[in-house]
Amino acid sequence: MTSSAGSTGRSANWNLPNAITIVRIILAPIFFWMLLVDDGADGWLRWAAAALFIIAIATDGIDGHIARSRGLVTDLGKILDPIADKLLTSGALVCLSILGELPWWVTAIIVVREVGITVWRLIELRRGNVVPASSGGKLKTVVQAVAISFALVPLWTVFGEWVHWLNGILMTAAVVLTLWSGLLYVRDAVLLARSGRASS
């Protein structure tokens, strides 16, 4: 009986949303390789890497929508989805810093916040507490995706150097929202801990 239940759980994990998430994880190292091999030359590899990132990051909303609308939300998906997102965005920021196009302190702030909050949410999930994305967190995710996309696409080769100013504004907004949403999660963590102590 136990093996049958376990088999059912495993088969449930093999669904379309999780498959899309896994593809996103697989695409991440390919994207990193293309971006770093271009090495700031702004050639076809840079354009291809940017396009791959935009396509991959766009699937985040797609797999989540399919999972919720079709009742295909699984524990595996809850674990893999944030890992895929953070791998893609954090990896993109690290690559941009390696190429000298983004200050390391910007990358550090965003990566530390993303990894820290994701680990905390996964720990709470194992405890049976689902920590939903806040409105600030959702806005942060969108602005981060837009800022990184603009930083990756070498539009300055087409429209001129002023594009760097636009990229700077977008990345600044991403950093501010990252810090703000992070503080909201810290507040939620404190409230969750207090409620846990009160119930015990």
Taking CA atoms, 98 is separated from 32, 108, 132, in Å, by 11, 12, 33
The domain segmentation of the chain, as residue ranges, is: 2-199
Cα–Cα dist 193/187, whole Å: 10
Question: What are the tens digits of pLDDT across the range 152-190?
Answer: 999 999 999 999 999 999 999 999 999 998 888 778 777
Q: Which fold has domain 2-199?
A: Four Helix Bundle (Hemerythrin (Met), subunit A) (1.20.120)
Residue 59 predicted with pLDDT over 90: no
For CA atoms 174, 179, 185, 187, give the dihedral sign.
Answer: negative
pLDDT at 1: 41
Q: What is the pTM of this model?
A: 0.84
Question: What are the tens digits of pLDDT across the range 135-150?
Answer: 667 788 899 999 999 9
- Cβ contact 108:116 at 8 Å: no
